[in-house]
Amino acid sequence: MDEKLQNTARKRRLQYRLISLCSILVFIGIWYLATAVLQLAPSYSLPSPVKVFQTFITKLTKTAPEGATLGQHFLASLQVAFTGYVLGVVIGVPLGILMAWHKWVDIIVRPVFDFLKPIPPIALIPVMIVLLGITIKAKAVLIFFSTVIPCILNSYSGIKQTKSIHLWVAQTFGASRRQQLFTIAIPSAMPMIFAGLRVAMGSSWMALVAAELLASTKGLGYMISVGRALLRSDLIIVGILCLGLIGIVISFLFDLLEKLFVRGGKER
Question: Which one of 166, 199, 206, 228 is in contact with other proteins (CB under 8 A)?
Answer: 166
Contact flag: residue 183 with other proteins (CB under 8 A): yes
* From 64-72, 78-86, 180-188, 248-256, span contacting other proteins (CB under 8 A): 180-188
CB 205 within 8 A of CB 81: yes
**Cβ–Cβ under 8 Å, residues 48 and 31:** yes
34, 69, 187, 240: residue in contact with other proteins (rule CB under 8 A): 187
Select from 27-35, 39-47, 55-63, 176-184 the region that touches other proteins (CB under 8 A): 176-184
Q: Does 61 bind other proteins (CB under 8 A)?
A: no
What's 267's DSSP letter?
-
DSSP 8-state class, residue 46: S
Q: What is the DSSP secondary structure assignment for residue 95, as one 8-state letter?
A: H
Q: Which of 18, 37, 165, 256 binds other proteins (CB under 8 A)?
A: 165
Is 84 within 8 Å of 143 (Cβ atoms)? yes
The residue from 15, 39, 43, 179 that contacts other proteins (CB under 8 A) is 179
* Residue 199: CB minimum distance to other proteins, A: 21
Question: In a 3-state reduction of DSSP, which class is residue 70?
Answer: helix
Choosing from 45, 172, 248, 256, the residue that interacts with other proteins (CB under 8 A) is 172
86 binds other proteins (CB under 8 A): no
Does residue 188 bind other proteins (CB under 8 A)?
yes
Burial class (CB in 10 A: 0-12, 13-18, 19+), 157: middle
Rounded distance between C-alpha atoms, residue 246 and residue 62, angstroms: 21
Nearer to other proteins by Cβ, of 188 and 216: the residue is: 188
Of the candidates 141, 138, 148, the one whose C-alpha atom is nearest the C-alpha of residue 91 is 148
Contact set with other proteins (CB under 8 A): 163, 165-166, 168-175, 179, 183-184, 187-188, 190, 262-268
